[in-house]
């Protein structure tokens, strides 16, 4: 079965629903605070309304010899985890949170089925570190350091770094992972998520590159990639045109690439 075909995993992809951001917010709030019956209905609608997101994500894993049906099923598991763990109070779009969760689930599936085996103890250390990273990020609204994670795990920081490096694949910070037609989510947008494949050195280089940007460039990137706003929303907020936002954003990203 090819990705271009209409049906995958028995699902007619041409008929998949696409929910608006407002509708997603409404459903996510109901999932957290509605009655048991309301929560179930909202959860089912949220899952069905985001299957196109799963389909979009799994297309980046073509050419690996894996069945699209298998990847789609694994991606849906990641979607469900994202729905169950998402906090509607966060000022972030669901796709910004959900995409790395889906990717993480697929990557774990691919790692566990990879011919190159990593020891079980090292995998357990890496997964525990990623779980703590996600929990600390959600609790403190910032990404934890390696030292913080290592201290909680009661292991040397070198052990944490080696374990994480052993289970990840290299990936470009600027690789697109999802697009809804107006906004594209890149790997670099997912700072702080447990499935983010950047190495700690790349993160330091990224922060250093961002520090060299102008105040306007920093503000636009913050609004776009950390606040989840569209280019039109950013343009309205800072009083310039959408075309100017697009040019400044592209220039800033190019500068970051060059500095890294």
- The answer to which of 57-61, 108-112, 161-165, 182-186 has the lowest mean pLDDT is 182-186
Beta strands in the chain (DSSP E): 7-8, 11-12, 176-179, 184-186
pLDDT in tens, 25-70: 899 999 988 899 999 999 999 998 998 888 888 887 766 667 788 8
- State how far the Cα of 86 lies from the Cα of 94, in Å rounded to an integer: 8
pLDDT in tens, 198-210: 455 555 566 666 7
- State how far the Cα of 22 lies from the Cα of 43, in Å rounded to an integer: 15
The model carries a pTM of: 0.45
Strand partners, 12: 7
CB atoms within 10 A of CB 87: 10
CB atoms within 10 A of CB 61: 18
8: which DSSP letter?
A: E
Cβ-contact 199, 172 below 8 angstroms: no
Question: Rg for the chain (alpha carbons), in Å?
Answer: 19
The predicted structure's pLDDT at residue 207: 67
**3-state SS class at 147:** helix
Q: Please name which of 130, 127, 115 lies closest in space to residue 192, comparing C-alpha atoms.
A: 130
The predicted structure's pLDDT at residue 126: 80
When pLDDT is cut at 50, 70 and 90, the band that residue 80 belongs to is very high
Using CA atoms, how far residue 149 sits from 34, 76, 128, 162, 168, in Å, is 35, 29, 9, 13, 17
pLDDT in tens, 172-202: 444 555 555 555 555 555 544 444 444 555 5
CB burial class (10 A; 0-12, 13-18, 19+) of residue 142? exposed
Share of the chain above pLDDT 90, in %: 9
């Amino acid at each position: 079965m090819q990705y271009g075909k209409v049906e995958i995993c028995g699902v007619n992809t041409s008929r998949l629903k696409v929910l608006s951001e407002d509708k997603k917010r409404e459903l996510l709030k109901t999932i957290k605070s509605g009655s048991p019956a309301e929560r179930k209905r909202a959860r089912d609608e949220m899952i069905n309304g985001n299957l196109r997101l799963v389909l979009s994500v799994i297309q980046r894993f073509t050419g690996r010899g894996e069945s699209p049906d298998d990847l789609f099923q694994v991606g849906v598991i990641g979607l469900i985890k994202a729905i169950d763990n998402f906090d509607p109070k966060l000022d972030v779009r669901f796709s910004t949170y959900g995409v790395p969760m889906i990717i993480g689930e697929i990557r774990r599936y691919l790692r566990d089925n990879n011919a190159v085996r990593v020891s079980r103890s090292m995998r357990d250390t890496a997964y525990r570190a990623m779980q703590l990273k996600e929990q600390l990020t959600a609790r403190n609204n910032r990404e934890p350091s390696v030292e913080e994670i290592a201290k909680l795990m009661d292991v040397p920081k070198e052990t944490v770094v080696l374990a994480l490096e052993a289970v990840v694949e290299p990936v470009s910070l600027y690789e697109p992972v999802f697009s809804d037609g107006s906004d594209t989510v890149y790997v670099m947008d997912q700072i702080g998520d447990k499935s983010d494949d950047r190495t700690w050195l790349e993160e330091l280089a990224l922060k250093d590159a961002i520090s060299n940007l102008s105040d306007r460039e920093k503000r636009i990137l913050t609004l776009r990639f950390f606040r989840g706003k569209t280019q039109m929303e950013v343009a309205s907020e800072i009083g310039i045109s959408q075309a100017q936002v697009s040019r400044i954003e592209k220039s800033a990203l190019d500068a970051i690439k060059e500095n890294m």
